[in-house]
A = this chain, B = another copy of it.
Amino acid sequence: MNGLKEKVLTLDTMNPCVRRVEYAVRGPIVLRALELEQELRQGVKKPFTEVVRANIGDAQAMGQKPITFLRQVLALCVHPDLLNSPDFPEDARRRAERILQACGGHSLGAYSVSSGIQLIREDAARYIERRDGGIPADPNNIFLSTGASDAIVTVLKLLVAGEGPTRTGVLIPIPQYPLYSAALAELDAVQVDYYLDEERAWALDVAELRRALCQARGHCCPRALCIINPGNPTGQVQARECIEAVIRFAFEERLFLMADEVYQDNVYAEGSRFHSFKKVLMEMGPPYATQQELASFHSVSKGYMGECGFRGGYVEVVNMDPAVQQQMQKLMSVRLCPPVPGQALLHTVVSPPTPSDPSFAQFQAERQAVLAELAAKAKLTEQVFNEAPGIRCNPVQGAMYAFPRVQLPPRAVQHAQELGLAPDMFFCMRLLEETGICVVPGSGFGQREGTYHFRMTILPPMEKLRPLLETLSQFHAKFTREYS
């Protein structure tokens, strides 16, 4: 070995749970997209002039403008010298002063308490109450977080215990957002898949939940049920009756409910409406309302604001054992606090301008414009895909994604397998290389055996979205011909 010692930390000696983690949304296809962008910058000739990153729900990267009021307040908080500037509306200044008053040393640069600034948790509680038609929310049950991901992982961490057949199992939808599978792999918990019904617009079916649960019992101890509503990557918005049925199921089967509701403002389809798990739970009355454990997650990254970079979010816990809640608080305190600028931004979201405020009209107009454009893009996406032979797309009722099913010719499937690639990964890689369009293969989210999908965001600007959808459909046709 020439005096060369082997490394201490190698693939063989490292944490095997971390090795098992996969995260498709930023996986190999995105690394390749980055390379292609670099090649384009270096002047390498490609059959396209630009890589379009439709792989991740990153609205501002796709050109969406920040909401003015949010950024005005934040700039004032960051640099309080501006508080005397006449360039800012009076309500933005008032708001920034209120936030700074609640900060240590009146500065965003101080740590906050680990669960987040008290004022912001109080106003988040009022926000939830307004959303839920007056059902009370307790600020002490709200924990601010570093994006929703952080809070989701924290709650999963609390739930993980046992070994062998008593290891914690967590039910997650398939297709899922791969944070769930990644976190469960890292925590060495058992992922229990329940399938959403593609034939019924990705609806959640309690019989399927029961099947998954029964099959899991015996080789693990299922203790939690995750729901993503509106759905990622499915775009499905759950009906109220469905939510009731899920709650009854969780109650009977003694499952902790985790409701990922980060797309609660992103509902577009006629007849679809967002119902929060908390509201439905409370309206079902005892014993559900008084006993069923629930954690609901929200974020500033999605909705109309799309402020992903600030990593703001929160979780509200309902009916959690107070002793466990103390443990959660302790666990969060080890990381000190969520980023304070993200907390401040969250404050403007949970407590937006009201009709008497000078910023109200502009705020409303900007908010509505974003949501209306998203609704139009959701419709267009579904429509163009469904015109293409071999592509079938459920309605994008909410969230920010289409998850169309693509037929892939058997020869393409075989060819992919020879390359050691999932067939839809092969399709998406070819798509990227030939068109510059970056989408994520369905295999990264999970799908029924023998079906193939991809997830595409509806976020590119309207003038780019239509040609993009058409290019994609045409590429699929060409790909199909090539391998037929």
* Alpha-carbon distance between A320 and B321 when the two chains are bound, in angstroms: 43
Quick check: which of A323-331, A354-362, A363-371 contacts chain B, the rest being far away? A323-331
Tell me, rounded to whole Å, the shortest Cβ–Cβ distance linking A356 to chain B.
24
* Complex interface: chain B residues within 8 A of A308 (CB): 109-111, 336-337
Given that A158-B18, A159-B15, A337-B309 are known contacts, is A255 also in contact with B8, CB under 8 Å in the complex? yes
A40 at the interface (CB under 8 A from B): no
Q: Is the CB of B334 within 8 A of A23?
A: yes
* Complex interface: chain B residues within 8 A of A350 (CB): none
Quick check: which of A60-68, A465-473, A476-484 contacts chain B, the rest being far away? A60-68
* Alpha-carbon distance between A364 and B109 when the two chains are bound, in angstroms: 19
A389 at the interface (CB under 8 A from B): no
* Complex interface: chain B residues within 8 A of A13 (CB): 161, 223
Tell me, rounded to whole Å, the shortest Cβ–Cβ distance linking A9 to chain B.
5
A87 at the interface (CB under 8 A from B): yes
* Alpha-carbon distance between A75 and B366 when the two chains are bound, in angstroms: 21
Q: Is the CB of A339 within 8 A of B336?
A: no
A335 at the interface (CB under 8 A from B): yes
Q: Is the CB of A26 within 8 A of B110?
A: no
Q: Mark A59-79, 1 if CB is under 8 A from B, else 0.
A: 111111010000110110011
Interface centre among A79, A146, A161 (most CB of B within 10 A): A79
* Alpha-carbon distance between A158 and B12 when the two chains are bound, in angstroms: 11
A455 at the interface (CB under 8 A from B): no
* Alpha-carbon distance between A238 and B307 when the two chains are bound, in angstroms: 42
Given that A21-B334, A108-B309, A335-B149 are known contacts, is A324 also in contact with B161, CB under 8 Å in the complex? no
* Alpha-carbon distance between A9 and B320 when the two chains are bound, in angstroms: 7
Q: Is the CB of B291 within 8 A of A105?
A: no
Interface centre among A8, A71, A309, A319 (most CB of B within 10 A): A309
Q: Is the CB of B327 within 8 A of A19?
A: yes
Given that A75-B75, A339-B146, A339-B342 are known contacts, is A293 also in contact with B7, CB under 8 Å in the complex? yes
For the A-B complex with A8-B255, A60-B109, A78-B78 known, give 15 more contacts whose Cβ atoms are closer than 8 Å: A9-B159, A11-B323, A16-B161, A23-B334, A58-B105, A60-B107, A75-B82, A103-B309, A108-B310, A149-B334, A150-B335, A178-B334, A186-B334, A308-B337, A341-B341
Q: Is the CB of A310 within 8 A of B161?
A: no
* Complex interface: chain B residues within 8 A of A233 (CB): none
A-B contact pairs, 17 of them (CB 8 A): A4-B287, A7-B324, A10-B323, A14-B161, A18-B158, A21-B330, A21-B331, A60-B109, A61-B110, A62-B105, A63-B105, A66-B109, A147-B335, A149-B335, A308-B337, A310-B339, A311-B339
* Complex interface: chain B residues within 8 A of A103 (CB): 309
Interface residues on A, range: 35 or more
Q: Is the CB of A293 within 8 A of B8?
A: yes
Scan residues 220-261 of chain A and give those whose CB is less than 8 A from a CB of chain B. Answer: 223-224, 251, 254-256
* Complex interface: chain B residues within 8 A of A186 (CB): 157, 331, 334
Q: Is the CB of B23 within 8 A of A330?
A: yes
A135 at the interface (CB under 8 A from B): no
Which chain B residue lies CB-closest to A88? B79
Q: Is the CB of A71 within 8 A of B61?
A: no
Tell me, rounded to whole Å, the shortest Cβ–Cβ distance linking A435 to chain B.
20
Q: Is the CB of A310 within 8 A of B340?
A: yes
Q: Is the CB of A18 within 8 A of B105?
A: no
* Complex interface: chain B residues within 8 A of A159 (CB): 9, 14-15
* Complex interface: chain B residues within 8 A of A22 (CB): 330
Q: Mark A96-132, 1 if CB is under 8 A from B, else 0.
A: 0000000111011111111000000000000000000
Given that A19-B327, A71-B78 are known contacts, is A109 also in contact with B14, CB under 8 Å in the complex? no
Tell me, rounded to whole Å, the shortest Cβ–Cβ distance linking A443 to chain B.
16
Closest 4 CB pairs between A and B?
A: A61-B104, A309-B340, A75-B79, A61-B110
Cβ-defined partner of A15 (8 Å) among B82, B157, B182? B157
A5 at the interface (CB under 8 A from B): yes
A34 at the interface (CB under 8 A from B): yes
